[in-house]
Structure 1
Amino acid sequence: MNILEKIVARKQEEIQAAKKIKSIDDLEQEPLFGRQTISLSSRLREATAPQIISEFKRKSPSKGLINGAVTPEIVTAAYIHGGAAALSVLTDSDFFGGSFQDFLSARTTNPGIPMLRKDFMVDPYQIYEAKAIGADLILLIAACLSPAHVKSMAAQAHALGLEVLLEVHNLEELQSSLCEEVDMVGVNNRNLKNFETSTETSVLLSKHIPDSFVKISESGLEHPDTILNLYAHGYKGFLIGETFMKRSDPGAAFNDLQNELTINSKLNPI
């Protein structure tokens, strides 16, 4: 059993336990369930420069503890102050050290910003959870869902007013799982089998993603030249977490990269 299979197996256990505590009817009564969602895809389509989706992530299976000394409200507020287009907050506890409370803290601090619930979504129940904690979009990972499951989960998300980011790692996943119900395609540059990272994955897949979908690159995005190169290949959004979170002050790390992007954009206009 590889790490992804372990995560999904554990997630199924969590979902069954959660359903015994809160029904879908209960989730629909949560204060944030009726909140008007914000479209990230629209913001990215209108952008004339690379847009960063900044992530709050305490740890990961490949890196272990990344940063356990910061709080989501302070870090995400700094991200937004620096110009982040959206936020991604991990809600998986066992493998990434996240929680619903992390998400809610960030949501309360940043009410007008699109927020992604970053988790391993394998059951429609989780979509209702996402809506109940104030998410604007969800992540569907092609590697742990069948194409039919992607389509049905995406349709359910849209029914609740949420957008969908489909994450793929290779051409096979892209071609089998892409469907009209998806709003954005995220290319994860990290190989799930060996955890090696190469942004060339985004370059190679860029020409296979139709222009009707907003392109987002994920993982391995540390240098402004890399981001600008991918922007030239049609990527509008760049989901970055570890690059910021491994610093003692993630907000300052965000500002450093954002400033470098601005300077490099002026020196090398696209």
Structure 2
Amino acid sequence: MKNILTEIVAHKHVEVAARKQQRSVEELEQTSLFKRTPLSLAQFLQDPAKTGIIAEFKRRSPSKGLINGEVTVQDVTTAYTRYGASGLSVLTDEKFFGGSSDDLQQARALNNIPILRKDFIVDEYQIVEAKAIGADVILLIAECLTKDEVAQLAKFAHNLGLEVLLEVHSGDQLEKVTDHIQLVGVNNRDLTTFRVDFNRSCELAPQIPAGKCKIAESGISNTDAIITLKQAGFQGFLIGEHFMKEANPPRAFEQFVSELANKSAK
């Protein structure tokens, strides 16, 4: 199977170079959203009144194709917030995931919880862009960045007041964690093949450095999984397709949260 991640990253370099020509860093720094104080996802994940779920708005993916082309970012993200999401994740990659910066800006205008810009960050320009569109957190993927690149990008984001979620897929990638990274996510989906192995999170949890907020990503499709992951030490749960594949994602999220509350109370 071809390496999808390599293809995405190669295209991302071309895409970012083109965007730099369209809009300068100076112009991005003059936007009103660039000047706002970002919210802390790490703090929101520790709020007992919320669910710990980082609920994602995602229209499509390379592995699944179109997931949901009918719903609006406004309806879905406001419902996620209303029913207790600790944070939002919004895809901004257009070519492979059907997302856009406009999706994140719409979510920002309507929700007062932290927003993760879900994209493939390869350049500092994208981090400036993330702040300018209202993101609070950026994603760095260990699989496609060297240790030095992770350190450089994480420090740059930190200096802008943004939090950093480093996504890992294997134990050796934890060597890339730095002081400027607040959140470490374990992706149960292999980004080269897109196969899911749910046990990966539980295996890697003990190896995540102390003091980092632990987030499980991908393959979480029922409330029992969240309870298991909480017992393994995870505080955050990034869930996308499970809600987005439903005809009514807001209703699906509401039911999921209600079921989780009932089980957690027992």
1:138–1:164 Cα contact (<8 Å) kept = yes
Q: Secondary structure at the match of 1:235?
A: coil
- Give me the identity figure in percent: 51
Partner of 2:68: 67
1:187–1:216 Cα contact (<8 Å) kept = yes
2:92–2:104 Cα contact (<8 Å) kept = yes
Give the letter for the 1:156 counterpart: F
* C-alpha distance in structure 2 between counterparts of 1:37 and 1:22, whole Å: 22
Deviations 1:199-218 (A, max 9, x none): 21000001001221000000
Give the letter for the 1:135 counterpart: A
Partner of 1:196: 195
Partner of 1:148: 148
* C-alpha distance in structure 2 between counterparts of 1:50 and 1:226, whole Å: 13
| 1:216-231 paired onto structure 2 within 5 Å | 216-231=215-230
Partner of 2:129: 129
Give the letter for the 2:74 counterpart: E
Q: Secondary structure at the match of 1:186?
A: strand
Partner of 1:119: 119
2:51–2:85 Cα contact (<8 Å) kept = no
2:141–2:168 Cα contact (<8 Å) kept = yes
Deviations 1:45-92 (A, max 9, x none): 344875111000000000000000011011100111111111000000
Deviations 1:112-167 (A, max 9, x none): 21000000000000000001001001000000100110011000001000000000
2:58–2:240 Cα contact (<8 Å) kept = yes
Cα distance, 1:31 vs structure 2: 1.6
* C-alpha distance in structure 2 between counterparts of 1:229 and 1:115, whole Å: 25
TM-score, normalisation: structure 2:
0.97
Q: Secondary structure at the match of 2:122?
A: coil
Superposition RMSD in Å = 1.2
* C-alpha distance in structure 2 between counterparts of 1:81 and 1:129, whole Å: 27
Partner of 1:243: 242
2:50–2:86 Cα contact (<8 Å) kept = no
* C-alpha distance in structure 2 between counterparts of 1:25 and 1:207, whole Å: 42
Q: Secondary structure at the match of 1:88?
A: strand
1:89–1:118 Cα contact (<8 Å) kept = yes
Which ranges in structure 2 are unaligned for 5 or more consecutive residues? none
Partner of 2:169: 169
1:50–1:228 Cα contact (<8 Å) kept = no
Partner of 1:51: 52
Give the letter for the 1:235 counterpart: F
Partner of 1:97: 98
Partner of 2:253: 254
1:67–1:245 Cα contact (<8 Å) kept = yes
Cα distance, 1:226 vs structure 2: 0.9
Give the letter for the 1:145 counterpart: L
Give the letter for the 1:129 counterpart: E
* C-alpha distance in structure 2 between counterparts of 1:191 and 1:157, whole Å: 26
| 1:170-189 paired onto structure 2 within 5 Å | 170-174=170-174, 176-189=175-188
Count of matched residue positions in the alignment of Structure 1 and Structure 2: 265
Give the letter for the 2:57 counterpart: F
Which ranges in structure 1 are unaligned for 5 or more consecutive residues? none
Give the letter for the 1:74 counterpart: D
Deviations 1:209-254 (A, max 9, x none): 1221000000011111111010011100100010000001111111
2:196–2:219 Cα contact (<8 Å) kept = yes
* C-alpha distance in structure 1 between counterparts of 2:203 and 2:51, whole Å: 19
Partner of 2:38: 37
Deviating beyond 6 angstroms after TM superposition, the runs of 4 or more aligned structure 1 residues are: none
Partner of 2:82: 81
1:50–1:236 Cα contact (<8 Å) kept = no
Moved more, 190-199 or 237-246: 190-199
Partner of 1:25: 26
